[in-house]
Chains A and B, each alone.
Chain A
Amino acid sequence: MKKYTMPDIEGKFGVFGGRFVPETLMPALKELETVYENAMNDPDFINEFHDYLRQYVGRETPLFHAGNLTEKIQGANIYLKREDLNHTGAHKINNTLGQALLARRMGKKKIVAETGAGQHGVATATVCALLGLECIVFMGEADIRRQKLNVFRMELLGAEVRSVKNGSGTLKDAVNEALRYWVSSVNDTHYILGSVVGPHPFPKIVRDFQSVIGRETRRQALEQNGTLPDVVVACVGGGSNAMGMFYPFIEDEDVKLFGVEAGGKGTHTEEHANALNGKTGVLHGTMTKLLQDDHGQIQEAFSISAGLDYPGVGPEHSYLHEAKRVTYTAITDEEALEAFQTLSKTEGIIPALESSHAVAFALKQAEKMSPEESIVICLSGRGDKDAEQVKHILEEYEHGNR
């Protein structure tokens, strides 16, 4: 793409994006937009953000040449962008830190957030503890059961975790409930949305705070190899790590970008999270590609990885998909599990199940490429949180129950 300037002033990425929210929230969204634009032009804000990224989050993260994996695959040189090394173990904190600083700038002392598996909830609770903000996290009942440890971590960090019983009790329902809470408390509360979804300006703000991933990668690739990577791969649920990685590369037309959605039990089944193959519609305040039935009712997504288990996708991904700048694909649960083990064994790095989807696709892609070429995988998070779940699944495989 030549010059990339999305979103437009209405928060649209082509037909996608926008602000489909109750009137009560409109002034807050406009305030957030204004405060954000001011903050981005305020060197003090930028410096403070980057100081925290350096001193607290531990940036920059390495761009690691995965030599063993490269040798094993016998294709392109494989690099890992180590977002798993961030404080709290994933890329999520890049965004929560930025938004918490914005909340403070707006004079809002309370934070509400949604969480699926708990990674965004933990990253939000963490920065709230750091900056002395009150924090309420909505989490689906089913997810609370599956992710007890993350619930405890959030509580330890001083956050209040509220169980959401509506719907399927997962991420989608937690977002609904967080939005409802925000409508009733918008005067003193900021909503830290965890991905590049939701009404404008959230998709833009989250992308911008996450774009530190792509900017570092771009610079590190030039430093290490004197050239940009040929291929960049990231997993896509809502798609914040992917947007943060892709955004600085969008105008580099020679860099191929791949987004990997969760294929669950296969995209031919009904159990997947392949939203980009869905139909355009409106969910959680934005127009985007969605899993929905013919009557416009939103369907449940399915993935082994809770972080990808979302029936929508960020509106900018829908745009980049239709503009054909990014190629989107899907990886099944089984393929992701295999990549989870492969990376652990060959490089001594246990990836999050989310990131394992990107790894699985990248290994297939690297095989088709030449040794002169290079491929970067956004390793968005570490897999400690998934170890127990994977253990159970592998035991079931062993006993032939799957």
Chain B
Amino acid sequence: MGIDNLNRTFQKKLSNNEKLFVPYIMAGDGGLNILEERIAFLEDSNASAIELGIPFSDPVADGPSIQEAGIRALQEGTTLEKVLSTLKNSIKKRSVPIILMTYINPVLQYGPEKFAADCAASGVDGAIIPDLPLEEEKLISIPFKRHSLGLIRLAARTSSKDRLRKLAAISDGFLYAVSVMGTTGARSMHDKEVKDYLTKLKELSTAPVLAGFGVSNSEQAQQLGSYCDGVIVGSKIVELFHEGKTGEIKKLIAESTKKRNSESVLK
């Protein structure tokens, strides 16, 4: 469980020459009763891990698709407590790692110590907290260490090299490379700067580097994946689930993770 599980799972896939693919879903979007089913579907579709979003009233790092999913989830009465207990009940039915993506305020109200303990008890392996930069991590770092939970750090295009080095050195599981200047959501970004940024992160990081924010199709996923170890796809997965197009999700993951003989870089 925890950091070890993340490391083990990712290493196994990478040594098998697969790219990593972490889909994001919003917990409670469509009701918490279908969460178990969605996780099973993604696990079955060869997701490397699942980033599970906790809805928050003021998600400043998210674009429209995930904002709307969050509103739907809140209308379903979703709370952090209910998500954790749902995960706990289905702990034996899954083997795919679970990473919670949550803003810091719900964690603070839950209590950092209790949050870490309940995460561990529910089979959660780590967390991504987009509004908790290095400077503020101490709010949760001790409970996270105590329960061997991974804290996945986010690197940004604006971060200085020193800062990137620091983030790369301490990130658990993988380093989340925010590939665009902006919020989550689809957009084109096939420029040289992204390549240079991801290449630089790969040099700095011993942990796998995954590109996220703005990735919406398998071409992008393959391209970005060729510069690093894989991708995180959020808004697109959320939209496809909402529209009931699960076949496309399967296809997207399959195409994004397929083994390659040579690095085929698309335009």
Chain A residues within CB distance 8 Å of chain B: 10, 18-28, 166-167, 172, 176, 179-180, 183-187, 279-285, 290, 292, 294-298
- B133 near A295: Cβ-Cβ < 8 Å: no
- B158 near A281: Cβ-Cβ < 8 Å: no
What A residues does B160 contact at CB under 8 A? 27
Q: How many B residues, CB 8 Å from partner? A: 42
Complex: chain A residue closest to B60, CB-CB: A179
Tell me if B159 counts as interface (CB < 8 A to partner A).
yes
Tell me if B56 counts as interface (CB < 8 A to partner A).
yes
Tell me if B9 counts as interface (CB < 8 A to partner A).
no
- A187 near B106: Cβ-Cβ < 8 Å: no
Max chain B C-beta neighbours (<10 A), residue from A10, A21, A186: A21
- B74 near A297: Cβ-Cβ < 8 Å: yes
- B133 near A184: Cβ-Cβ < 8 Å: no
Chain B residues within CB distance 8 Å of chain A: 56-61, 63, 67, 74, 79-81, 103-110, 130-136, 153-160, 163, 167, 178, 180-183
Max chain B C-beta neighbours (<10 A), residue from A21, A22, A23, A167: A23
Shortest distance from the beta carbon of A336 to any chain B beta carbon, whole Å: 27
16 A-B Cβ contacts within 8 A?
A20-B132, A23-B155, A23-B156, A24-B181, A26-B134, A180-B183, A184-B180, A185-B181, A186-B158, A282-B104, A282-B105, A282-B131, A284-B58, A285-B131, A295-B80, A296-B56
Q: How far is the CA of A185 from the CA of B181 in the complex (A)?
A: 7
Q: How far is the CA of A179 from the CA of B182 in the complex (A)?
A: 10
In terms of DSSP, what is the predominant structure of the interface of chain B?
loop
Closest CB pairs A-B (n = 10): A184-B182, A296-B109, A296-B106, A24-B156, A23-B156, A296-B105, A297-B57, A295-B79, A298-B57, A20-B131
Q: Which of A23, A167, A176, A295 contacts B178 (CB 8 A)?
A: A23
Q: How far is the CA of A179 from the CA of B155 in the complex (A)?
A: 18
Complex: chain A residue closest to B74, CB-CB: A297
What B residues does A25 contact at CB under 8 A? 158
Max chain B C-beta neighbours (<10 A), residue from A26, A179, A180, A284: A180
The answer to whether residues A27 and B159 also contact, given A284-B58, A295-B109, A297-B56 and a CB cut-off of 8 A, is yes
Shortest distance from the beta carbon of B34 to any chain A beta carbon, whole Å: 20
What B residues does A167 contact at CB under 8 A? 57-58
What A residues does B181 contact at CB under 8 A? 24, 183-187
Shortest distance from the beta carbon of A285 to any chain B beta carbon, whole Å: 7
Q: Which of B61, B63, B135, B163 contacts A22 (CB 8 A)?
A: B61
- B182 near A292: Cβ-Cβ < 8 Å: no
- B136 near A183: Cβ-Cβ < 8 Å: no
What A residues does B80 contact at CB under 8 A? 295-296
What B residues does A292 contact at CB under 8 A? 105, 109
The answer to whether residues A19 and B159 also contact, given A180-B183, A282-B104, A292-B109 and a CB cut-off of 8 A, is no
Q: Which of B67, B81, B130 contacts A166 (CB 8 A)?
A: B67
Q: Which of B61, B109, B158 contacts A294 (CB 8 A)?
A: B109
Shortest distance from the beta carbon of B44 to any chain A beta carbon, whole Å: 31
- B131 near A27: Cβ-Cβ < 8 Å: no
What B residues does A284 contact at CB under 8 A? 58, 60
- A27 near B158: Cβ-Cβ < 8 Å: yes
Complex: chain A residue closest to B102, CB-CB: A296
- A10 near B158: Cβ-Cβ < 8 Å: no
Q: How far is the CA of A27 from the CA of B107 in the complex (A)?
A: 25
Complex: chain A residue closest to B79, CB-CB: A295
Shortest distance from the beta carbon of B107 to any chain A beta carbon, whole Å: 8
Q: How far is the CA of A186 from the CA of B107 in the complex (A)?
A: 28
Q: How far is the CA of A397 from the CA of B136 in the complex (A)?
A: 50
What B residues does A185 contact at CB under 8 A? 181
- A180 near B60: Cβ-Cβ < 8 Å: yes
Max chain A C-beta neighbours (<10 A), residue from B105, B108, B135, B160: B105
What B residues does A172 contact at CB under 8 A? 58
What A residues does B103 contact at CB under 8 A? 282
Q: How far is the CA of A19 from the CA of B159 in the complex (A)?
A: 15
Complex: chain A residue closest to B68, CB-CB: A166
Shortest distance from the beta carbon of A45 to any chain B beta carbon, whole Å: 25
What A residues does B63 contact at CB under 8 A? 180
Q: Which of A18, A28, A295 contacts B158 (CB 8 A)?
A: A28
Q: How far is the CA of A179 from the CA of B63 in the complex (A)?
A: 12
Q: How far is the CA of A330 from the CA of B178 in the complex (A)?
A: 43
Q: How far is the CA of A295 from the CA of B83 in the complex (A)?
A: 12
Q: How far is the CA of A1 from the CA of B136 in the complex (A)?
A: 28
Q: How far is the CA of A127 from the CA of B230 in the complex (A)?
A: 46
User: What 10 additional pairs, Cβ within 8 angstroms, besides A26-B133, A183-B183?
Assistant: A20-B104, A21-B60, A22-B131, A24-B178, A180-B61, A280-B108, A282-B131, A294-B109, A295-B79, A297-B57
What A residues does B59 contact at CB under 8 A? 176
The answer to whether residues A180 and B133 also contact, given A24-B156, A282-B105, A296-B110 and a CB cut-off of 8 A, is no
What A residues does B155 contact at CB under 8 A? 23
- A298 near B58: Cβ-Cβ < 8 Å: yes
Shortest distance from the beta carbon of B72 to any chain A beta carbon, whole Å: 13
What B residues does A21 contact at CB under 8 A? 60, 131, 133
Shortest distance from the beta carbon of B32 to any chain A beta carbon, whole Å: 14
Shortest distance from the beta carbon of B134 to any chain A beta carbon, whole Å: 8
Max chain B C-beta neighbours (<10 A), residue from A10, A172, A186: A186
Shortest distance from the beta carbon of B82 to any chain A beta carbon, whole Å: 9
- A176 near B106: Cβ-Cβ < 8 Å: no
- B56 near A24: Cβ-Cβ < 8 Å: no
Shortest distance from the beta carbon of A60 to any chain B beta carbon, whole Å: 38
Q: How far is the CA of A180 from the CA of B59 in the complex (A)?
A: 9
Complex: chain A residue closest to B109, CB-CB: A296
Q: How far is the CA of A127 from the CA of B112 in the complex (A)?
A: 43
